[in-house]
């Protein structure tokens, strides 16, 4: 079964607009973490933001915020005031468990294109 689901293969947004990228997840663990990564065409995986399952407040990092709805098992990424440089592939990912080698599982990604 798919553990991380990103339902938007592609998104097109005008520069300076806010954009929400959807992510839902499936786990039976109580302790887990949710990550968002940006992958430009060069291929490196750039960490954006993290939300722990026990964190009560939504995570924020600059223009990035994570809309965490635990009961719905969703962890949407919100990018405010989008810029041309935000055009990239975006991956939602989840790690399960607390200790040991905790594997990171990725969603299928959303390709975001910012139009001038």
Q: What span, in angstroms and rounded, lies between the C-alpha atoms of 94 and 26?
A: 9
Residues forming the site for another protein (CB under 8 A): 33, 35, 37, 42-45, 47, 50, 52, 91, 95, 98-109
DSSP string over 16-27? T--EEE--EE--
Q: Which is nearer to another protein, 62 or 100 (CB)?
A: 100
CA atoms within 13 A on the CB side of 95: 14
Q: Which is nearer to another protein, 20 or 53 (CB)?
A: 53
Phi, psi of 15 (to 5 degrees): -55, 140
Q: Which is nearer to another protein, 38 or 76 (CB)?
A: 38
Q: What span, in angstroms and rounded, lies between the C-alpha atoms of 63 and 81?
A: 7
CB of 16 to another protein, least distance (A): 27
CB of 85 to another protein, least distance (A): 18
CB of 35 to another protein, least distance (A): 7
């Amino acid at each position: 079964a798919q553990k991380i689901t990103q339902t938007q293969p592609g998104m097109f947004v005008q520069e300076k607009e806010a954009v929400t990228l959807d992510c839902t997840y499936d786990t039976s663990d109580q302790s887990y973490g949710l990550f968002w990564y940006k992958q430009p065409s060069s291929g490196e995986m750039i960490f954006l933001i993290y939300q722990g399952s026990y964190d009560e407040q939504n995570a924020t990092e600059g223009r990035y915020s994570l809309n965490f709805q635990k009961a719905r098992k969703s962890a949407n990424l919100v990018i405010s005031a989008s810029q041309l440089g935000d055009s990239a592939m975006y991956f939602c990912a989840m790690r399960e468990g607390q200790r040991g080698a905790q594997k990171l599982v990725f969603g299928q990604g959303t390709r975001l294109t910012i139009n001038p």
